[in-house]
């Protein structure tokens, strides 16, 4: 059985007083998750808004990714397919069933 889904991600950036804030919103059609990230410009550094945008957006997307992984872990554990030990930080756990 072949299925296709489209999940939409919106990324919203704002900057004020040397701080860039990002909000990443994932809409799966049945659920919505929101990730947040910030970046602060050191007063001694050159003000390059693109760098703050990249950092804040990356952090918001990373926050979103962590939430997705936690959701998947809970769903796997509910099926009895949880890991024997926690995965190493940053590692990708394969999808396995009992």
Instruction: Scan for tokens 């998750």, then name that residue.
Output: 33
CATH number, domain of 25, equals 3.30.160.240
DSSP 90: T
Angle at 75 between CA 12 and CA 65, to 5 degrees: 25
Is the pLDDT confidence value at 98 over 80? no
89 within some domain: no
1 within some domain: no
Please provide the average confidence, as pLDDT, over all residues in the chain. Answer: 87
3 within some domain: no
97 within some domain: no
- Its pTM stands at 0.77
CA-based Rg of the chain, rounded to a whole angstrom?
17
pLDDT score of 44? 87
Number of domains in the chain: 1
CA distance 81 to 93: 11
37 — pLDDT class (breaks 50, 70, 90): very high
Domain extent at residue 37: 8-78
């Amino acid at each position: 059985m072949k299925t296709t889904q489209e999940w939409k991600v919106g990324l919203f950036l704002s900057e004020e007083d040397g701080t860039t804030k990002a909000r990443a919103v994932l809409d799966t059609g049945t659920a919505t998750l929101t990730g947040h990230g910030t970046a602060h410009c050191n007063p001694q550094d050159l003000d390059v808004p693109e760098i703050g945008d990249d950092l804040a957006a990356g952090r918001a997307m990373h926050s979103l990714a962590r939430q997705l992984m936690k959701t998947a872990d809970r769903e796997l554990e509910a099926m009895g397919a949880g890991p024997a030990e926690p995965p190493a930080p940053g590692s990708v756990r394969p999808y396995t069933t009992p």
